[in-house]
């Protein structure tokens, strides 16, 4: 394997993030929130931790797949180490699956694989979670960076659509977990949950890797 520099500390090694920097990321800074259309939103780590921010920027702005894999590893490590008081939120008394927040098709072509793509794939690989792409993004929204909470809400309103196909019957009696890479104001998750809510029997929940 070719040597490279750690994205954060610049030490020379064979991974994009050294083990020392990975272990700097706290394991107990998760947050749980609720929203009008969401039973709970669990966010695992702070986006503002410098190592996390470095990895996220490497994926979003440099399409670094290795950084995305590290974030996927972080997601699973943190989720597996939740205390008992929180793991009850994700007990499974009924069949379930995770539904990633989709990007607009034009943006997918521009930026390639994302953190969310890796999280989705590892979810399928690790837990054999079924995936039906029933949720579509109809609007190509502006980038949210720099927008106020009110502007974000206005921008995302009406952005999502549930396909009226056979997968809706599959959705109805299952617990749906929306999955996204980062929670800021919650406008995106809330709008996606609104699109789903009338098609499911159970309250929609959500999981995000980061919170800002």
Q: What is the pLDDT of residue 127?
A: 61
CA distances to 3, 16, 56, 58, 192 from 71, in Å: 20, 11, 8, 11, 23
Report the b/e string of 113-138 with b at 16+ CB within 10 A.
ebbbbbbbbbbeeeeebeeeebbebe
Q: What is the pLDDT of residue 50?
A: 97
Q: Identify the top-confidence range among 26-40, 47-61, 68-82, 91-105.
A: 47-61
Quote the CA–CA distance of 122 and 175 in Å, as a whole number: 19
> For the chain, what is the mean pLDDT?
81
Quote the CA–CA distance of 210 and 118 in Å, as a whole number: 15
> Tell me: the pLDDT tens digits for 16-57?
999 999 999 997 778 888 888 888 888 999 999 999 999 999
Angle between the N-to-C axes of helices 50-62 and 115-127, in degrees from 0 to 180, rounded to the nearest 10: 100
Give yes or no for residue 169 having a pLDDT over 80. no
Q: Which two tokens stand for residue 189?
A: 């998750």
Output the pTM of the full model: 0.85
Report the b/e string of 61-87 with b at 16+ CB within 10 A.
eeebbebbbbbbebbbebbeebeeeee
* Spatial CB neighbours of 177, under 8 Å, sequence gap ≥ 6: 90, 96, 97, 98, 99, 204, 205, 206, 207
DSSP 87: H
If pLDDT is split at 50, 70 and 90, which confidence band does 165 have? Answer: low
CA-atom Rg of the chain in angstroms: 17
Rounded mean pLDDT, 99-103:
84
> Tell me: the pLDDT tens digits for 116-159?
777 777 666 666 666 666 788 888 887 777 778 888 888 889 88
């Amino acid at each position: 394997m070719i040597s490279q520099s750690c994205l954060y500390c610049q030490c020379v090694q064979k991974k994009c993030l050294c083990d020392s920097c990975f272990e700097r990321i706290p394991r107990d800074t998760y947050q749980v929130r609720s929203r009008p259309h969401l039973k709970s939103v669990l966010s695992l780590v702070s986006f503002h931790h410098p190592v996390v921010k470095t990895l996220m920027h490497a994926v979003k702005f440099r399409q670094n797949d290795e950084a995305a894999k590290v974030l996927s590893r972080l997601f699973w490590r943190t989720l597996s180490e939740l205390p008992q008081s929180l793991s009850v939120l994700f007990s499974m008394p009924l069949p379930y699956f995770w539904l990633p927040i989709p990007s607009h098709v034009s943006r997918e072509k521009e930026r390639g694989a994302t953190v969310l793509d890796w999280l989705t794939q590892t979810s399928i690989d690790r837990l054999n979670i079924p995936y039906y792409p029933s949720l579509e993004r109809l609007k190509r929204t502006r980038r949210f960076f720099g927008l106020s909470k009110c502007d974000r809400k206005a921008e995302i309103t009406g952005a999502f659509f549930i396909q009226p196909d056979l997968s809706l019957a599959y959705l109805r009696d299952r617990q749906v977990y929306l999955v996204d890479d980062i929670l800021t104001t919650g406008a995106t998750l809330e709008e996606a949950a609104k699109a789903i809510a009338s098609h499911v029997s159970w309250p929609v929940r959500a999981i995000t890797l980061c919170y800002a």
